[in-house]
A and B are shown apart, each in its own frame.
Chain A
Amino acid sequence: MSDENKEKIIPETPEDEKEKVEGDWKWDAAVPETKTDDITLDDLAPIMDKEEAPAEEEKAQEEPAEEAEEAPAEEEKKEEKNETEEKAEKKADGQCVICGNSTKNSPNDLYCEDCARKFLRTHFGIPQVVLAFVMVFFAAFSWFVCVSTVDFSAQLMKVESLISEKRYTDAIGAVEKLSTDVATVDQGFNATLATFNKNQNVVDFFVDGERSMRILLDAYVDSLPFSQEQIAQFVNIVSVEVDKDKLETRKYEKIKKMYDYCVEVNSYSNEIGPTWYTFMYTDEKTSEQKIKYDEAIAFLETCPNDTPAQKSLNGYYRYIAAYFAEKDKEVVFEIFDNLLEDLGEYSYLFDFIYLQVAWTYEDYDRVEVIADRLYEANINATDAYYYSIKANILQGDFTKADERCERMFKDNPEAIDYYAVKAEILRRMGKYQESIDICKKGVAVEQDASIYNQQAISCMLLDDKAGALDAAKTAYEIITVSTQGQASYEILNTIALIGKLCDDEETYENVKALFEAGQEPTELDEKVKKCIEGEITFEEIFMEGYGDI
């Protein structure tokens, strides 16, 4: 073996120890990185002879040659065992298991300092170190992305679960929350980038993905009412947010179907709308909207009535005609019943309109049926359910009203409407104190004007004028501060009435001014005026008939 090769094999060995090391340990055989191309058997012979001779002699004495050939595995095992035992002995003596030198100064208890450096391969190549650093950096970044993605996915799964439970309003709210959270994480990401580079442009790195938009649109499809405004909004969202190619895929099948329906409704409305509105006019004497009923119906008879979109709009116009022509409720209901039958799978679009129509015509049994249907289709349709509760109250069936109210609360624990409705039921049952108690519970959850309004009414009925005025003034405060004067006609009139009855002219005048300052100036309700004048009592307004202003 050449001297040059020897140097390559043991480059790290200090010069002063070189002689000693070479004498104790044959690096040529121990270091696998050694180039063996130019090693000949002659080079290895002295080493092999020296190391293997005693072992072979021992073996030759112990075992015959034929047996050794038959059981090489056993021999190997024995060799390994001997080697292990030898190593264990050396280890116990504080000697290097390879060269037999002292392990005293070595960081390892098995090998001496030199052998450890040579044989444990302490050095790593630059590519390996670079790979490790890049991977650590990428892994850290990935974990950050992963945590955010898992959070977004969990929120989206919740949305899907809400949709499967037919909680469409909650689902839409949850998708909106997801979008807000994505924007917040994006803000944080951009702020972090800005610390490295102040000129960094803001990037929308995190996105909520196409699935959330599809789920949102699915939820819209299932809870869409037949309203031209809502239909136009739906068409706009789909055309902006969804690629035309994607709309053709299986995942978007439901959305595509509704989109096509809505587009056709829009185009058909543009087609017959201008002619239709020529039949509407304003009565000069009464200033009321009227319609040339026979002409309008005759026109609709000439219109095509084949597709769901055409049937929907034709039916809707028929209802409008009947309504403005002040037809009997039987005529109106017949129009709706026929329309719903014709529309089949699209009939749910008209349920809410039908409910309001039934309410307007005071057909409370019908209200209950439609409200139940709406509630089954969308558990979050508390406004529809409120109609049925109110119908029960007007029918004098307070127990049923209470049952419905409790069911609504059970299904929608976060619905603040529950407290006001429950308070109203208790009040109508004559349980004023319980009504006040439930109102107090409600305002502890959320400061809501309608709950304070119910509390004020119950206090008045209990003859607690101070409590009533206090609650009415709080309701007024909430209306003016939180909702910028936006409140229901009934609540504002009740506040004005209680203010007047409790000798608080300021509140009364403020509400009156609020009515007069509106876009369409109005006056206080007739019932309020009559009550102030003493023509009717407070109890008559709130404990009889409709039970409200």
Chain B
Amino acid sequence: MTIVYVISKYLTIIGASLKALWEQVFCRILGIPVQDASYLNSTELCGHIEHDFTESKLKSFLICYLPGLMNRFFGYGMLIGGYLGLFYLEVSSEDTIFWVYLAMLYVGISLMCNNAPLYEDALYNWDMLYGKEQKTNIIVKILAFIPSVYFIVSAFMEKYAISLLVYMVAVLLGIFVI
């Protein structure tokens, strides 16, 4: 399945590169050693950087959360704006803004398809917070539960390019149904 994953990353190259950049930036901010900082390659690390597992729960959570958050923050505006402009307002291709909406939609999907942490990082975060030997505060457990589940689910979806598939279906619905 790695080939599917790598293809999905190259199809969404802007989001994949940017996600890896944010990961590198936040590794730097959080003081997490980086082992491999190449953004695009043909392995399952494509679109991510390889870093050490963190020692603290907070860092583990933040390194899963923050890079994706940055992509989502940028991506939502582009995705919503582009989608509405093209499929709801039905802007004509003769208008300049059509191409802007098209670019926004592509970059938006590209960013939203790359907002999950690496699957191993997501599992590690889960283990740090909810592992048998971990003594995590109950309030922290409650607060971090939904994001932690989201990390695993979204990472799994990205691993098998399901998120890209979902957005492609949404685009087809926009073209033929809305």
> Which A-chain residue is minimally distant from B97 (CB atoms)?
A205
Interface size on A, residues (CB 8 A): 42
A110 contacts which chain B residues (CB < 8 A)? 31
Q: Give per-residue flags for A42-63: 1 if the beta carbon is below 8 A from chain B beta carbons, else 0.
A: 0000000000000000000000
A214 contacts which chain B residues (CB < 8 A)? 90
Which one, B24, B82, B96, contacts A124 given CB within 8 A?
A: B24
> Which B-chain residue is minimally distant from A146 (CB atoms)?
B81
Docked Cα-Cα span, A147 to B31, in Å, equals 36
Is B80's CB under 8 angstroms from A150's CB? yes
Q: Give per-residue flags for B1-44: 1 if the beta carbon is below 8 A from chain A beta carbons, else 0.
A: 00000000000001001100100110110011111110100000
Is B77's CB under 8 angstroms from A146's CB? yes
Is A142's CB under 8 angstroms from B90's CB? no
Is B31's CB under 8 angstroms from A121's CB? no
Q: How far is the CB of B85 from chain A (nearest CB, A)?
A: 5
SS of B interface (majority):
helix
Docked Cα-Cα span, A32 to B38, in Å, equals 11
Q: Give per-residue flags for B93-120: 1 if the beta carbon is below 8 A from chain A beta carbons, else 0.
A: 0011100110010011000000000000
> Which B-chain residue is minimally distant from A128 (CB atoms)?
B21
Is A131's CB under 8 angstroms from B18's CB? yes
Query: Which of B90, B104, B107 has the most A CB atoms < 10 Å from its CB?
Result: B90
Docked Cα-Cα span, A243 to B24, in Å, equals 51
Given A131-B21, A146-B78, A150-B81: A210 touches B31 (CB 8 Å cut-off): no
- Residue A175 interfacial (CB < 8 Å): no
Is A206's CB under 8 angstroms from B97's CB? yes
Given A87-B55, A121-B28, A205-B97: A131 touches B90 (CB 8 Å cut-off): no
Is B74's CB under 8 angstroms from A139's CB? yes
- In B57-85, which residues have CB < 8 Å from any A CB? 73-74, 76-78, 80-82, 84-85
Is B81's CB under 8 angstroms from A138's CB? no
Is B107's CB under 8 angstroms from A132's CB? no
- In A164-208, which residues have CB < 8 Å from any B CB? 203-208
Which one, A109, A128, A147, A207, contacts B91 given CB within 8 A?
A: A207
Which one, A124, A149, A203, contacts B84 given CB within 8 A?
A: A149
> Which B-chain residue is minimally distant from A121 (CB atoms)?
B34
- Residue B136 interfacial (CB < 8 Å): no
Q: Give per-residue flags for A131-142: 1 if the beta carbon is below 8 A from chain B beta carbons, else 0.
A: 110011011001
Is B24's CB under 8 angstroms from A149's CB? no
Q: How far is the CB of A14 from chain B (nearest CB, A)?
A: 21
Known A121-B27, A145-B85, A208-B89; further 5 A-B contacts with Cβ < 8 A: A122-B28, A149-B80, A156-B89, A207-B89, A212-B89
Chain B residues with a Cβ under 8 A of chain A: 14, 17-18, 21, 24-25, 27-28, 31-37, 39, 55, 73-74, 76-78, 80-82, 84-85, 88-92, 95-97, 100-101, 104, 107-108
Closest 3 CB pairs of A and B: A146-B81, A209-B89, A139-B74
